[in-house]
């Protein structure tokens, strides 16, 4: 998940550098993606991995710590690591893409963004190779 967040932030910085977004708009896009991503607790209930009571127990424990929902749910014995991995995959597939959010917010057009996304991914590949 850390790599995914880093890639998201790098892509938003790329769009700021290309003057497609200003810094405030980039933060707004990041916030909107986070708001529209279903929480793990909700997914755990909808997938039948946790009851509502278990979910609330974990959420209440989160209020007293800085730990993530899944980490606490596993530690409390409510879920297994394999279930958490399934939920993270479901969450990733339900997370709206940055380009989709940017277009929905009226900040840029789809086609130029698609081209810029390809350019960004190519630049990342060049760094890795």
Which two three-digit tokens encode residue 49? Answer: 């991995």
Question: DSSP string of 55-108?
Answer: HHHHHHHHTTSS--HHHHHHHTTSS-HHHHHHHHHHHHHHSPPHHHHHHHTTSS
Global pTM value: 0.80
pLDDT in the model for residue 49: 98
Which two three-digit tokens encode residue 53? Answer: 């009571």
pLDDT in the model for residue 124: 87
Q: What is the pLDDT along the chain (129 residues), one digit of tens a residue?
A: 555 778 999 999 999 999 999 999 999 999 999 999 999 999 999 999 999 999 999 999 998 888 999 999 999 999 999 999 999 999 999 999 999 999 999 999 999 999 999 999 999 888 776
pLDDT in the model for residue 108: 97
pLDDT in the model for residue 58: 97
């Amino acid at each position: 998940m850390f790599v995914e967040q880093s890639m998201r932030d790098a892509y938003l910085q790329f769009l700021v550098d290309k003057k497609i977004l200003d810094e405030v708009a980039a933060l707004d896009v990041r916030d909107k993606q986070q708001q529209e991503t279903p929480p793990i607790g909700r997914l755990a209930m909808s997938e039948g991995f946790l009851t509502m009571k278990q979910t609330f127990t974990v959420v209440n424990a989160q209020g007293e710590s800085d730990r993530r929902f899944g980490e606490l749910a596993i530690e409390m014995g409510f879920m297994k690591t394999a279930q958490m991995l399934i939920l993270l995959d479901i969450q990733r597939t339900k997370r709206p893409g940055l380009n989709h959010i940017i277009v929905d917010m009226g900040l840029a057009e789809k086609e130029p963004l698609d081209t810029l996304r390809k350019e960004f991914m190519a630049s990342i590949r060049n760094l890795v190779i």
